[in-house]
């Protein structure tokens, strides 16, 4: 099976003579089993007609940010959520600069900002523009944000110059794009992932919880699906759309998450405990709303079950990856949890930082197992999730 089989790909086309090659890219993506939708900038329509791209892709071409008819169907946010990959080919120097600065003045740049999909760009520009310090800085910034840069090629350019800047040939682009997905890493494996916070009721309107957004767990579910696994996602209350190809189990409390985890993990190969589970719950949950009773109130709390260690103890053939959200002595606390809870490996991060962790789209973590450790520097959670899955497979030959 091709690594692009059943993948949903948005092909973004920007203004430039290389836009004529985008028509061939559509065909080659489809030959690999991908479903393709096309988004064009206004300038791209001056080089290749939208009707051509529509005929090849079999779908309406999207080009206007303020298209009421399009928004009534698959609007730009839905389009961004639909994709597994956003491939921008050709990507002009102007559009690359807009990506770096977060401009959203056309549909394609808006889709880029709104998507959590893998993003790849194939630059196409004059060799002097490619060599300019501004372009060099822009490309480096995109790489740091997890964007894959494909090319450019060297040779005779449309303007007659010779040098780097020519868009890579369609087949070379397809080959690199295919490498972004590996459907065989976890083929045939069953993966269970917990995500988000738990809520522990105090009364009918109040609860104990934490700031977890669930973004890391949901990104891991996407990455495991992309690697070919059958995924069960056990989620606490979050404001996220689950990957439609996973089995979603919604829970609220730690006890509910434990029961769902034990059931799902019984026949699983991998258990990833990315949820931020409340450590304690109310010893007694009030039937009615608790009224104010003076300046102070005492709550009696009792310890919640430890989900990850319970699951690990129940199935000794299961690979169990825990998460440690810490604010100090990160590695020391993580190694203690690794040994005490008898985990296969643990991922630790510093949640005291405002630029990563809870509610952020980025994270910086350390992978720790019995005989190794690896730091994953700050990157978006989508890229980090793919890196964690790849490292898990490479380290433990699953």
Considering the domain boundaries, does residue 185 fall inside one? Answer: no
Which tens digits make up the pLDDT trace of 156-208? Answer: 666 666 777 789 999 999 988 888 876 678 888 999 999 999 999 999 999 99
Is the same domain home to 131 and 255?
no
Place 111 in a pLDDT band, splitting at 50, 70 and 90: very high
Helix (H, G, I), strand (E, B) or coil at 347: strand
Q: What is the mean pLDDT of residues 299-326?
A: 94
Catalytic residue among 159, 299, 314, 370: 159
Query: Is the pTM of the predicted complex or chain greater than 0.75?
Result: no
Q: What is the dihedral of CA 330, 365, 280, 310, to 10 degrees?
A: -100
Q: Of 58-72, 170-184, 319-333, which gets the smallest average pLDDT? A: 58-72
pLDDT at 71: 47
Is-contact 46 127, C-beta < 8 A? no
Is the same domain home to 174 and 195?
no
Among 178, 200, 226, identify where a domain stops: 178
How high is the mean pLDDT of the chain?
A: 88
Burial of residue 368, with CB atoms counted within 10 A of its CB: 0-12 exposed, 13-18 middle, 19 or more buried = buried
Is the same domain home to 144 and 246?
no
Is-contact 392 375, C-beta < 8 A? no
Instruction: For residue 258, give the nearest of 218, 304, 213 by alpha carbon.
Output: 304
Is the same domain home to 168 and 238?
no
Whether residue 303 is predicted with pLDDT greater than 90 in this model: the reply is yes
Q: Give the Cα separation of 193 and 41 in Å (integer).
A: 38
Is the same domain home to 242 and 95?
no
Instruction: Supply 358's token pair.
Output: 């809870």
Considering the domain boundaries, does residue 1 fall inside one? Answer: no
Whether residue 72 is predicted with pLDDT greater than 60 in this model: the reply is no
Q: Give the Cα separation of 142 and 119 in Å (integer).
A: 10
Q: Give the Cα separation of 174 and 20 in Å (integer).
A: 16
Is the same domain home to 164 and 303?
no
Instruction: Supply 195's token pair.
Output: 């995500």
Whether residue 154 is predicted with pLDDT greater than 80 in this model: the reply is no
pLDDT at 230: 93
Burial of residue 241, with CB atoms counted within 10 A of its CB: 0-12 exposed, 13-18 middle, 19 or more buried = exposed
In terms of phi and psi (left: phi > 0; alpha: psi -120 to 50; beta: otherwise), the region of 397 is left
Instruction: For residue 151, give the nearest of 30, 31, 25 by alpha carbon.
Output: 25
Is the same domain home to 174 and 194?
no
Beta strands in 61-214 (DSSP E): 85-91, 118-123, 148-149, 153-156, 162-166, 190-195, 200-201, 207-208
Q: What is the mean pLDDT of residues 249-274?
A: 97
User: CATH number for the domain including 357?
Assistant: 3.40.50.10300
Looking at the DSSP bridge assignments, the partners of residue 42 are: none
Other Cβ atoms within 10 Å of 295 Cβ, number:
5
Q: At 242, give phi and psi (nearest 5°).
A: -70, 150
Is the same domain home to 113 and 196?
no
Is the same domain home to 238 and 126?
no
User: CATH number for the domain including 104?
Assistant: 3.40.50.1950
Higher local confidence (pLDDT), 32 or 321: 321
Which tens digits make up the pLDDT trace of 5-26? Answer: 778 899 999 998 899 999 999 9
Which tens digits make up the pLDDT trace of 220-237? Answer: 998 898 888 999 999 999
Is-contact 245 206, C-beta < 8 A? no
Range of the domain at 76: 8-178
Cβ neighbors of 306 (< 8 A, separation 6 or more) are 341
Q: Give the Cα separation of 44 and 23 in Å (integer).
A: 12
Looking at the DSSP bridge assignments, the partners of residue 88 are: 12, 121
- Separation of CA 30 from chain center: 23
- How far apart, in Å, are the Cα atoms of 198 and each of 8, 246, 282, 307? 32, 20, 13, 12
Which tens digits make up the pLDDT trace of 337-366? Answer: 999 999 999 999 887 776 766 667 788 899
Is the same domain home to 79 and 225?
no
Q: Of 11-15, 111-115, 260-264, 393-397, which gets the smallest average pLDDT? A: 393-397
Is the same domain home to 92 and 229?
no
Beta strands in 188-239 (DSSP E): 190-195, 200-201, 207-208, 230-235
Q: Give the Cα separation of 209 and 219 in Å (integer).
A: 21
Is-contact 355 333, C-beta < 8 A? no
Q: What is the mean pLDDT of residues 111-120?
A: 90
**159 among known catalytic residues:** yes
pLDDT at 209: 95
Taking the alpha carbons of 347, 352, 357, 359 in that order, is the dihedral positive or negative? Answer: positive
Taking the alpha carbons of 33, 34, 37, 43 in that order, is the dihedral positive or negative? Answer: negative
b or e along 137-153 (b: 16 or more beta carbons within 10 Å of the residue's beta carbon)? ebbeebeeebbbbbbbb
pLDDT at 361: 77
Fill in the DSSP letter of residue 292. P
Is-contact 346 334, C-beta < 8 A? yes
Is the same domain home to 244 and 361?
yes
Number of domains in the chain: 2
Q: Give the Cα separation of 215 and 354 in Å (integer).
A: 15
Percent of the chain with pLDDT over 90: 59
Helices 22-31, 50-57: axis angle to 10 degrees equals 10
């Amino acid at each position: 099976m091709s690594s692009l089989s059943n993948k949903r790909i948005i092909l973004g086309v920007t203004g430039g003579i290389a836009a004529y090659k985008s028509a061939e890219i559509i065909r080659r993506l489809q030959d690999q089993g991908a479903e393709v939708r096309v988004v064009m900038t206004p300038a791209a329509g001056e080089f290749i007609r939208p009707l051509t791209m529509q005929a090849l892709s079999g779908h309406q071409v999207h080009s206007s940010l303020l298209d009421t008819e399009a928004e009534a169907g698959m609007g730009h946010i839905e389009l961004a959520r639909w994709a597994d990959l956003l491939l921008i080919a050709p990507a002009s120097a102007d559009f690359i600069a807009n990506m770096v600065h977060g401009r959203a003045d056309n549909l394609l740049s808006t889709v880029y900002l709104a998507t959590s999909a893998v993003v790849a760009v194939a630059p196409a520009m004059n060799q002097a523009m490619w060599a300019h310090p501004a372009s060099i800085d822009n490309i480096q910034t995109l790489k740091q944000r997890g964007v894959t840069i494909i090319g450019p090629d060297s040779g005779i350019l449309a303007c007659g110059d010779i040098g780097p800047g020519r868009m890579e040939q369609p087949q070379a682009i397809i080959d690199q794009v295919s490498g972004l997905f590996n459907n065989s890493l976890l083929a045939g494996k069953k993966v269970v992932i917990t995500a988000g916070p738990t809520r522990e009721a105090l009364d009918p309107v109040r609860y104990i919880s934490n700031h977890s957004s669930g973004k890391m767990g949901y990104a891991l579910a996407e990455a495991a699906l992309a690697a070919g696994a059958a995924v069960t996602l056990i989620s606490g209350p979050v404001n996220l759309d689950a990957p439609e190809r996973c089995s979603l189990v919604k829970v609220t409390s730690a006890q509910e998450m434990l029961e769902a985890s034990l059931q799902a993990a019984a026949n699983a190969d991998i258990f990833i405990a990315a949820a931020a589970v409340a450590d304690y719950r109310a010893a007694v949950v009030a039937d009615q709303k608790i009224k104010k009773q003076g300046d102070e109130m005492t709550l009696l709390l009792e310890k919640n079950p430890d989900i990850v260690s319970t699951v690990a103890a129940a199935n000794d053939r299961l690979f169990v990856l825990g998460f440690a959200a810490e604010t100090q002595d990160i590695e020391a606390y993580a190694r203690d949890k690794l040994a005490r809870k008898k985990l296969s490996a643990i991922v630790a991060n510093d949640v005291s930082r405002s630029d990563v962790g809870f509610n952020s789209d980025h994270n910086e973590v350390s992978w720790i197992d019995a005989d190794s450790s690896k730091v994953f520097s700050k990157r978006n959670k989508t890229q980090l999730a793919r890196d964690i899955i790849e490292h898990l497979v490479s380290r433990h030959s699953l």
